[in-house]
Amino acid sequence: MNASENGSTCVPEAAAGEPLDLTPLDHILEEFKGRRGAVIPILQRAQDAYGYLPREVLRAISQKTLIPLNQLYGVATFYAQFHLQRRGRHLVRICDGTACHVRGSGKNVEAVERSLGVGPGQTSEDYKYTLEIVYCLGSCGLAPIAVVDDKVYARLAPEALVQRLESLE
């Protein structure tokens, strides 16, 4: 699945050593030109475009809007919705709330760690997966639960979960 198929509009990651294409950011900043108090929407749009908030992007936002860089970092680190590190193409969230935990979510976490080489809060080296542990998604009756991108997987055994993940592009 490519970026447009999974609904993402991310700018392709620059090859190592190549400068990031800041054209999409220029368009975003043009849209918000002269609008005060637009820090959060600008960061949201920039993250939508790049998948995360690379340092070059934050620096460019600061230069072009005259918002101090430390203020941008302050906002980006305060809100959990913002990410300063590149993330995987697939976000894997495994619930380890009480109901999921007693029904074996720990085994799902271990299986994903072992098979895909990505630990909680980490992104795999090939940037295919980012694994997050969450605590109760409000569907305890379906425990244990994993949400991969926007798809919910209920009551999956560890092997089945790993298989589904491995089958993703």
Binding span for ligand FES by CB under 6 A among 59-67, 70-78, 113-121, 138-146: 138-146
Under rule CB under 6 A, residue 100 binds ligand FES = yes
Cβ atoms of residues 137 and 95 within 8 Å: yes
Under rule CB under 6 A, residue 146 binds ligand FES = no
The correct pick among 79, 98, 152, 159 for binding ligand FES (CB under 6 A) is 98
Q: Residue 126 is encoded by which pair of tokens?
A: 């090939």
- Complex with ligand FES: residue 57 or 143, whichever CB lies closer: 143
Under rule CB under 6 A, residue 137 binds ligand FES = yes
The correct pick among 53, 92, 99, 118 for binding ligand FES (CB under 6 A) is 99
Under rule CB under 6 A, residue 136 binds ligand FES = yes
- Complex with ligand FES: residue 115 or 139, whichever CB lies closer: 139
Cα angle 81-83-4, degrees, rounded to a multiple of 5: 85
Under rule CB under 6 A, residue 139 binds ligand FES = yes
Helix axes 39-50, 55-65, angle to 10 degrees: 140
Distance CA 112, CA 32 (A): 41
Under rule CB under 6 A, residue 22 binds ligand FES = no
Under rule CB under 6 A, residue 143 binds ligand FES = yes
**Residue ranges of the alpha helices (H) in 66-167?**
69-78, 98-102, 105-116, 158-166
Residue in 108, 91, 104, 126 with CA at minimum distance from that of residue 163: 108
Distance CA 49, CA 28 (A): 9
Of residues 46-75, those binding ligand FES (CB under 6 A):
none
Residue with the CB atom nearest ligand FES in the bound state:
97
Distance CA 7, CA 17 (A): 28
Site for ligand FES, rule CB under 6 A: 95, 97-100, 136-137, 139-140, 143, 145
